[in-house]
Amino acid sequence: MQRNDCEKKNGRLELIVGSMFSGKTEELIRRLRRAEIARLKVECFKPSIDKREEEDSFVSHDRQTMSCTRVSASGEILLLAVEADVVGIDEAQFFDEGLTSVCQQLVSEGKRVVVAGLDMDFQAQPFGPVPSLCAVADEVEKLHAICVRCGSAAYVSHRLVSEKTRILLGEQREYEPLCRDCYEKYR
C-alpha cells in the first residue's frame, strides 16, 4: 500500500545505548517484534564486521533472535530498506560515520528507525557514530548492566584482555561490565 503525502507518517529515531550485557539487543528485538505484531514491515541490519553469532540474525545474550541482513557500509541500508515501515539496526558503534545521515534520511522518509549500540568503548570514550546519533535521536534510552564487582549500575565495558585495538569483538571472556568507581580502581 502506497501512502500519499497527506497520509505519510512522521518518521522517528529511537536509540538504545549502554554497556555490554545491558540488554540493548534484547530491547531492540522487543520493539521490532511489537512492530511486526502491528503488521508493519520491519527490516533489520547489522554490520558485516560482527561475526560473533548467527550471520543472518540479531542474537541477544539471553538467546533471543531476529532475522537481519549484514551490510558492510551504512549506505547499503538505504537501498535495502525501501519498502520498510520500521528499520532496526544493531551494533551501531561498528558502522561508519555515515550511519547518522542514513538514519536521518530514513526518518525523513517517514520510517521509524530503532538503533542499538555501545555508547562508549573499553576506555570509556564515545564510540563510532553513536554520539552523533544521540544528538539527533527523538528518544535515547540508556540501559545499564550490573557491575560484576559491586552490584551497582554498570558504566562501561571493561576489557579483560591486553589487546589495545579499539575494536575487539568478544563476550564474557574479553569484557565485564563495571560501574564508574570499580572501573577507575581496576583499569
- For 81, the domain range is 12-144
Please indicate whether residue 91 is annotated as part of the active site: yes
Q: How far apart are CA 93 and CA 70, in angstroms?
A: 14
In eight-state DSSP terms, residue 8 is: P
Q: Is residue 29 part of a domain?
A: yes
Q: Which helix (H) or strand (E) holds 75?
A: helix 75-80
Q: Which helix (H) or strand (E) holds 70?
A: strand 69-71
| DSSP bridge partners of 21 | none
Q: What angle do CA 56, 139, 147 make, to 5 degrees?
A: 70
Q: How far apart are CA 44 and CA 16, in angstroms?
A: 15
- pLDDT for 52 equals 57
Q: What is the mean pLDDT of the chain?
A: 88
Q: Is residue 184 part of a domain?
A: no
Q: How far apart are CA 111 and CA 175, in angstroms?
A: 34
42: three-class secondary structure by DSSP: strand
Q: What is the amino acid identity at position 161?
A: V
Q: Is residue 150 part of a domain?
A: no
Q: Is residue 90 part of a domain?
A: yes
Q: Is residue 5 part of a domain?
A: no
Q: Is the pLDDT of residue 20 over 60?
A: yes
- Domain tally, the chain: 1
Q: How far apart are CA 121 and CA 106, in angstroms?
A: 26
Average pLDDT over residues 115-131: 95
pLDDT digits (tens, 9 = 90+) for 36-82: 999 999 999 999 986 656 567 656 556 677 789 999 999 999 999 99
Q: Is residue 187 part of a domain?
A: no
Q: What angle do CA 153, 173, 119 make, to 5 degrees?
A: 45
- Name the nearest CA neighbour of 84 among 72, 73, 71, 68: 68
Q: Is residue 72 part of a domain?
A: yes
Query: Is 0.85 surpassed by the pTM of this model?
Result: yes
Candidate list 14, 27, 43, 91, residue with the active-site label: 91
Q: Is residue 53 part of a domain?
A: yes
Domain with residue 68: its CATH number is 3.40.50.300
